[in-house]
Amino acid sequence: MGNTRHTWWRVCLVLLLLGALFAPGMSRADDKALLGLRGGYDDIAAAVTSLADHHDPRARVLIDALRHGALYKASDGNGLYIETDHGFVDAATNAAAPGLDPDALEKIRQNNNVRVAVAGALALLDLAAPDAATRRAAAAAMLDHPDAALLPALDHALASEHDPAARRAMVLARAASLLSVGASGHGVPEQLAAVAALRAAGGAQARAILLNIPAAPPAVRAAAAEAVHAIDRELQLWSLAQGLFYGVSLGSVLLIAALGLAITFGVMGVINMAHGELMMIGAYVTYVVQHATMSVLPGDAGLGLALAVPAAFLVCGALGIGIERGLIRFLYGRPLETLLATWGLSLVLQQAVRSLFGPSNVAVVTPAFMSGAARLGGIDITLNRLVIIVFAALVMLALTVVLRVTPLGLQMRAVTQNRRMASLMGIRTSRVDALTFGLGSGVAGLAGVAVSQIDNVSPNLGQGYIIDSFMVVVFGGVGNLWGTLAGAMSLGVANKILEPLAGAVLAKILVLVLIILFIQRRPRGLFPLRGRAVES
Amino acid sequence: MTNGPTNISRRAFGQLALGASTAALAGAGAAVAAPRGAPIKVGILHSLSGTMAISETTLKDVMLMLIAEQNKKGGLLGRPLEAVVVDPASNWPLFAEKARELLSVDKVSAVFGCWTSVSRKSVLPVFEELDGILFYPVQYEGQECSRNVFYTGAAPNQQAIPAVDYLLSAEGGGAKRFVLAGTDYVYPRTTNQILASYLATKGIAPADILVNYTPFGQSDWQGIVAQIKAFGSAGKKTAVVSTINGDANVPFYKELGNQGIKSTDIPVLAFSVGEEELAGIDTAPLVGQLAAWNYFESVSSPANKAFIKRWHSFTKKPKRTTNDPMEAHYIGFNMWVQAVEKVGSTDHDKVIDALPGIKQPNLTGGIATMLPNHHITKPVLIGEIQDDGQFNVVWKTPDLVPGKAWSPYVAETKNLIGDWTKPISCGNYDVVKKVCVGTKHG
């Protein structure tokens, strides 16, 4: 016994001496943390947490460096360096470390446990930030990983918090932490208040916390069970609304993919198997335009996308006119030959793009304003989908206006309804044919721009849409834009209602079976219309 | 119809290989004795057109590189190697036709080929009938052990099982609930069947497992990602094990990002996403998501650095990525070379019997051994996606894992082993009843 004690004292003495040596530079906790940052993932996570817990003055710099991959250790395990714009800085002394060999340094990396620790540490540091929004975000981050150890910090922050939104988030984080494992010394009334706060907030996150309250008095547990039940009812309603949004979103993609076909197949009666490839070319135009604008203005993905809209319309429209003049006009009235010729054309276009751009996918960048989701009540509105819904509606509107109001639209309808009569009235029907096909192709190009934001841009892109497009047009009623809209929306919503019930594969099969049954009953679709296709 | 173009391409590639060996002759003439005599033919059976071309073309290229390098080193048994390239065009029955052509017309000494399991199943009877040798380089679902096939990719116990162990461990987040999401075909279904029974042995209740299948090329992931999110909000740590194949992964990961699912909330561990698949996407929102393989391009071993350098100079593309099946071909080809040198002949039966026991250093610093069941030993690595499209290895099995052909977690096969060495010489030997179950090994 005496011996051990003796040794223990000696160790302490040595440590004290060492501490005295290093004292001017840093505190003891600091030293230990710096050592931890050079260790394994668990050591790094512990070091990060300890830096924030001790409110170490260097905590933010170190954690930020770690988060952005700017923290390095010497390969031999000694020394910790931060990479700045002006070269490396020694993390322990804060002095510049010039002449450091980058090859002798090893980047300190994170794993998911370290990322959780970093998020927690930053939240703790941000709880006292001057900006109210930062404080609110910090409290929200604490709600993700509630912990009894956070209670003192939250109590302290709440005492001086005046911003109502930040206060609300803190109260919620405090309630969650109070109900988490290891929280003790709180009375039943306080726990019941916490349950009530989470119940009032609602949502899946609060539900998860309430579901997992560790050992608590029966009254608290009963209140929690009731709160979970109430939140479940709410969530069920919201999930219905969410499903509807998904359905409309899928419907809008189907709509924009089918609109071009509604013109070429629906109005003109041309079975255009290359429709999908025109979409694919529209997507590649987006890629090229965006690539070009981003080489001039790096970081601005939105401009390229905006410019791609007219560019894709013009390129695909011109291509469509070329296809009509060079191929399709010789095949009017021979649907089987048209089908084969356009199918062959689709292979030619695919291979041409494959030869030009390579067989792999190309990356079309999604602009920042189209990434992420907005929360509306209990549903997530993903922004890229929202933009596509709006875009599809605008294209639909523009197309209706063109067909209803413009002279070209009038001529198109005239030629469709009675070609001979229109010709006798002095309309150059062959010119109208070419322009109509060009319009349909241009709209396919627009669809390509939209689809480039949600799908892979590869030479095979078109194949995934051609069947669905024909399905929508036939189901909606050939030759009727409103039918196409109704068809796209009902197919989209039906698919998304069936998907969670039956799984994605079975949902697709069920939708196809329903369409077959429907087409047998009503071969002309939802909204049949008279036109050249009908007459022939 | 289909024969015409492929024959042309084959001839073209034959010439290319011939050209390569001539170049090797000219270049290395002084250092090594130039190979002479009748060439030894090596068949390359990878799709160069159709849907699988993206993945398989790379493997054709790496084989051409390995053959050219071997010729530079003086060939094999003093004879030059000649690549015979055929294009099965992602058409499964055509795989069998082309395999038959390679074995009976070209009389190749070994075939390196196939990617999808369905193509392997298609050629299997041909290789067994004509007693050929096939090296299959892709991770697969197991439950097969043919005398004529050498499986240099991972069996489920070399990828799926260790990966799930990682997710269950504290380091991997200690997951208690699992989503098994896959594309709807044989590999994900078999793998998920094995994983579901494995998770049951680890005390995961059936209610905590959600299995979801999607068609090939799925692009609208909104509903499914929302379902995963809801499943993950039951207060238990949830992880996704993804056997989603091909470029459907891109919109899947995009949707995860859009719905705000971070790797720290619900990690996604993929079995079919490699460097090649990430090449076309912005990986910043995916940082921290996981993949399990036996090789990553980012592994900084000297052997791997040298291999990547040779690959870049051979393809003349300084940014072309390397991946796991390429390493499998590297190991398989070198094992075959060693076996041929050991027996001094390319006779199929002799080479098949010589291969078990052959050792070949892999690219990540270990030594791969060919096992009696025609699978090899491999390390299992878990990599995290980085913002540059590469993987950072965060976990690795302490030892190499020997591949098991038959899964112990499937009731019908739990007593089966494969052992093609004497005295057993059987692909599906029942260790309890001590009988060879049958001649069919697929």
What ipTM is given for this predicted complex? 0.79
Same domain for B260 and B385, yes or no, is yes
Cα separation, B206 vs A513, in Å, equals 31
Residue of A nearest to B170 (CA): A113
Same domain for B229 and B336, yes or no, is no
A487-526: b or e for each residue (b if 16 or more CB lie within 10 Å)? bbbbbbbbbbbbbbeebbbebbebbeeebeeeeeeeebbb
Q: Is residue B410 part of a domain?
A: no
C-alpha distances out from residue B281 to A296, A301, B52, B54, Å = 21, 14, 19, 15
Same domain for B250 and B205, yes or no, is yes
Residues B182 and B244: beta-carbon distance below 8 Å: yes
Contact A112 B224 (CB under 8 A): no
From chain B, pick out residues whose CB is under 8 angstroms from the CB of A366.
Answer: 254, 282
| Residue given tokens 């929306």 in the structure block | A489
| pLDDT per residue as tens, chain A (536 positions) | 444 455 555 554 454 444 444 444 444 455 777 788 888 888 898 888 888 888 778 888 888 888 888 888 887 777 888 888 888 888 877 788 777 777 778 888 888 889 888 988 888 888 888 888 888 888 888 888 888 888 888 888 888 888 888 888 888 888 888 887 766 667 788 888 888 888 888 888 888 888 878 777 788 888 888 998 999 898 888 888 988 999 999 999 999 999 999 998 877 888 999 999 999 999 999 999 999 998 888 878 889 999 999 999 999 999 999 999 999 999 988 889 999 999 999 999 998 998 898 777 788 888 888 888 888 877 888 898 999 999 999 999 999 999 889 999 999 888 888 888 888 999 998 999 999 999 999 999 999 999 999 888 888 889 889 989 999 998 988 778 899 999 999 999 999 888 888 888 888 899 999 999 998 988 888 887 654 444 54
From chain A, pick out residues whose CB is under 8 angstroms from the CB of B184.
Answer: 505
Q: Is residue B426 part of a domain?
A: no
> Other CB atoms closer than 10 Å to residue A137's CB: what's the count?
17
Shortest CA gap A198–chain B (Å)? 14
Lowest mean pLDDT among A248-252, A264-268, B269-273, B395-399: A264-268
Residues B383 and B298: beta-carbon distance below 8 Å: yes
Contact B260 A373 (CB under 8 A): yes
Cα separation, A274 vs A258, in Å, equals 13
Shortest CA gap A119–chain B (Å)? 10
Closest partner residue to B173 (CB to CB) among A110, A113, A211 is A113
Closest partner residue to A209 (CB to CB) among B235, B247, B260 is B235
From chain A, pick out residues whose CB is under 8 angstroms from the CB of B5.
Answer: none
Quick one: how far is CA A407 from the chain centroid? 41
From chain B, pick out residues whose CB is under 8 angstroms from the CB of A107.
Answer: none
Cα separation, A104 vs A283, in Å, equals 45
Same domain for B194 and B112, yes or no, is no
Contact A112 B263 (CB under 8 A): yes
Same domain for B101 and B27, yes or no, is yes
Contact A363 B281 (CB under 8 A): yes
Q: What is the largest CA-CA distance in chain A?
A: 120
Count: domains in chain B? 2
Tell whether the model's pLDDT for residue B244 goes beyond 80: yes
Contacts of A433 (CB under 8 A, 6+ apart): A268, A324, A329, A332, A415
From chain B, pick out residues whose CB is under 8 angstroms from the CB of A211.
Answer: 234-235
Contact A208 B260 (CB under 8 A): no
Same domain for B187 and B115, yes or no, is no
Shortest CA gap A507–chain B (Å)? 10
Q: Is residue B417 part of a domain?
A: no
From chain A, pick out residues whose CB is under 8 angstroms from the CB of B229.
Answer: 204
Same domain for B14 and B145, yes or no, is yes
Q: Which two tokens stand for residue A183?
A: 């929280």
C-alpha distances out from residue A109 to A70, A106, B165, B208, B397, Å = 9, 9, 22, 32, 19
From chain B, pick out residues whose CB is under 8 angstroms from the CB of A460.
Answer: 51
The DSSP secondary-structure symbol of B31 reads T
Residues B249 and B273: beta-carbon distance below 8 Å: yes
Same domain for B271 and B221, yes or no, is yes
Question: What length does chain B have?
Answer: 442
Closest partner residue to A115 (CB to CB) among B172, B236, B264 is B264
Shortest CA gap B228–chain A (Å)? 11
C-alpha distances out from residue A201 to A136, A157, A195, A245, A503, Å = 15, 20, 10, 23, 31
Question: Helix/strand/coil (H, E, C) string of A180-241?
Answer: CCCCCCCCHHHHHHHHHHHHHHCHHHHHHHHHCCCCCCHHHHHHHHHHHHHHHHHHHHHHHH
Residue of B nearest to A381 (CA): B259
From chain B, pick out residues whose CB is under 8 angstroms from the CB of A372.
Answer: 257-258, 260
Choose, out of A112, A179, A366, A469, the residue to mutate when testing the contact with B (most B CBs < 10 Å): A112
Contacts of B314 (CB under 8 A, 6+ apart): B61, B64, B65, B68
Amino acid at B316: K
Contact A504 B250 (CB under 8 A): no
Residues A333 and A319: beta-carbon distance below 8 Å: no
Closest partner residue to A504 (CB to CB) among B53, B218, B280 is B218
Q: Is residue B407 part of a domain?
A: no
Contact A239 B263 (CB under 8 A): no
Same domain for B113 and B228, yes or no, is no
Q: Residue B33: give the domain boundaries.
A: 3-154+300-377
Same domain for B194 and B276, yes or no, is yes
Shortest CA gap B182–chain A (Å)? 11
From chain B, pick out residues whose CB is under 8 angstroms from the CB of A41.
Answer: 171, 394
Q: Which two tokens stand for residue A106?
A: 């090893």
**Per-residue confidence (pLDDT) for residue A536, from 0 to 100:** 46
Contact A460 B51 (CB under 8 A): yes
**Per-residue confidence (pLDDT) for residue B33, from 0 to 100:** 65
> Other CB atoms closer than 10 Å to residue A446's CB: what's the count?
27
From chain B, pick out residues whose CB is under 8 angstroms from the CB of A496.
Answer: 222-223
Residues B49 and B90: beta-carbon distance below 8 Å: yes
**Per-residue confidence (pLDDT) for residue A194, from 0 to 100:** 86
Residue of A nearest to B261 (CA): A372
Same domain for B7 and B136, yes or no, is yes
Q: Minimal CA–CA distance to B406: which of B141, B117, B143?
A: B143
Cα separation, B145 vs B417, in Å, equals 9
Tell whether the model's pLDDT for residue B335 goes beyond 50: yes
From chain B, pick out residues whose CB is under 8 angstroms from the CB of A299.
Answer: none
Provide the CATH number for the domain around residue B22.
3.40.50.2300
| Axis-axis angle for helices A301-326, A275-296 (nearest 10) | 140
- Name beta bridge partners: A436: none
Q: Is residue B440 part of a domain?
A: no
Q: How confident is the model at residue B118 (pLDDT cuts 50, 70, 90)?
A: confident
Cα separation, A272 vs B106, in Å, equals 43
Choose between B181 and A87: higher pLDDT. Answer: B181
- Name beta bridge partners: B212: B181
Is residue B216 helix, strand or coil?
A: coil
Same domain for B183 and B62, yes or no, is no
B1-33 pLDDT, tens digit each: 333 333 434 444 444 444 444 444 444 444 566
Choose, out of A109, A122, A499, the residue to mutate when testing the contact with B (most B CBs < 10 Å): A499
Q: Is residue B422 part of a domain?
A: no
Quick one: how far is CA A196 from the chain centroid? 33
Residues A67 and A82: beta-carbon distance below 8 Å: no
